[in-house]
Every structure is written in structure tokens, then in C-alpha cells.
Amino acid sequence: MALKATIFKADLSISDMTRNYYHDHSVTLARHPSETDERMMVRLLVFALHAHDRLVFGDKIGNEGEPDLWQRDLTGAIELWIDVGQPDEKHVRKACGRAKQAYVYPFGGHASAVWWNQVKGSLEKTRNLSVISLPAHAAAELAKLAERGMKLQCSIQDGQVWLSNGSETVHVELVPLMTSGG
């Protein structure tokens, strides 16, 4: 029998001073048994960074053709494709071909640096890709906030993110490795 995903719910209050975006979102995350709290919380953080009414989590488990998050316009065209971790270079190029804008958020310290050194040469030619790294400690600190029912406040300004549950606050400094004009 296949193991089922664990459902997490988050009430997320976002204050993004960079984008002038101030909204509350009720988010449901399905954490597959093979996914860690670290990766799930990075997905939630990335949701906050790009929050929009049409931004949704992809069904990536068992469906490698989908991103971790994506946003479609009203015609169904993909506006935004977001992957978390160290995706295959071919997958990233495909995403750039399908979406108006693609993002990759690697995390995990040394493993992310190794991944980026291997793929950056072939990905530098893409015009609609941004790669933004999270510091090595960020995922582990975010995982401490993981609960089945979360009430979180997220403040974003100038590449700095503060995510708090009211008693603990995690600060994440985003590190742009490559940015697009899109």
C-alpha cells in the first residue's frame, strides 16, 4: 500500500514591501512521505515570495513534468514556473521554454553550490530564468516552524525575509545567483 501525503495548513499573512503586496492566504500543503519538513517549508517560503491569487502548488510527486509552484494566466498560459531544490538542467530548460518566467530556488549549502557549478554554464543563456539560493542554515531553521496547523507572518523587503509563528522568527537572506529581465 502506498504511503499517503501528510496535509499541512498554513494561514499566511504576507507583507511584501518590495512588491507592495499585503495579503492573507490560507494554504494547504501536501507533504509526500519522501519530502522533508525542510523542503516543504522552503516551498511555503517561495510561495510567500511570489504570492498571487493564481499561484498554486504543483503535483510534482509522481509527475516530473510539473513545477513545485506555478501560475497561469486566464488563458491557461504559464506565467510563472518555480522549482525548489536542484532540478535537472534539461527540466529547467524545458520550464524556460514553457513559461514566461522561471525561477529555481536551490537550498542545502554545499550540494546547491555543486549543482549550480555544474549547470550554470548551460543555463546562463536563458533570458527568462532567475536562480536564487537560500543560505545553508535556512531550510533547517524554517523546518522548526513546521506544524500541521500554522499561523505565520511573513515580511519581505530587499531580498530579506522574516517568517514568524509568533514565538520564533526565522530570517532568510536571499542570494541571487542569476537574474532575468523578466
Q: Locate the domains of the chain by residue range.
A: 6-178
- What angle separates helix 110-123 from helix 89-98, to the nearest 10 degrees? 50
CB–CB of 131/24 below 8 Å? no
Is the model's pLDDT at 88 over the cut of 50?
yes
Q: What average pLDDT does the chain have? A: 94
- The greatest distance separating any two alpha carbons of the chain, rounded to the nearest whole angstrom, comes to 47
Res 20: pLDDT = 97
Alpha helices (runs of H) in the chain, residue ranges in sequence order? 37-50, 89-98, 110-123, 138-143
Torsion of CA 135, 39, 72, 13, to 10 degrees: -80
CATH superfamily of 6-178: Restriction endonuclease-like alpha-beta roll domain (3.10.640.10)
pLDDT tens-digit map of 1-34: 567 889 999 999 999 999 999 999 999 999 988 8
For residue 182, what are the contacts with CB-CB under 8 A and spacing of at least 6?
A: 100, 101, 127, 128, 130
pLDDT tens-digit map of 27-81: 999 998 889 999 999 999 999 999 999 999 998 665 677 999 999 999 999 999 9
Q: Which is it for the CA torsion 109, 40, 142, 103, positive or negative?
A: positive
pLDDT tens-digit map of 107-143: 988 999 999 999 999 999 899 999 999 999 999 999 9
* Beta-ladder partners of 182: none
* Beta-ladder partners of 160: 157, 173
Res 65: pLDDT = 79
Res 140: pLDDT = 96
Q: What separation in angstroms does the CA of 5 have from each of 62, 100, 105, 158, 174?
A: 12, 30, 23, 35, 29
pLDDT tens-digit map of 163-179: 999 999 999 999 999 99
Is the model's pLDDT at 182 over the cut of 50?
no
Res 4: pLDDT = 86
Torsions phi, psi of 88, nearest 5?
-60, 140
Distance of alpha carbon 3 from alpha carbon 9, whole angstroms: 19
Res 156: pLDDT = 98
Res 59: pLDDT = 81
Q: Which is it for the CA torsion 140, 145, 149, 153, positive or negative?
A: negative
DSSP 8-state secondary structure symbol assigned to residue 139:
H
Element (H, E) at 150: strand 149-157
Q: Quick one: pLDDT band at residue 98, thresholds 50, 70, 90?
A: very high
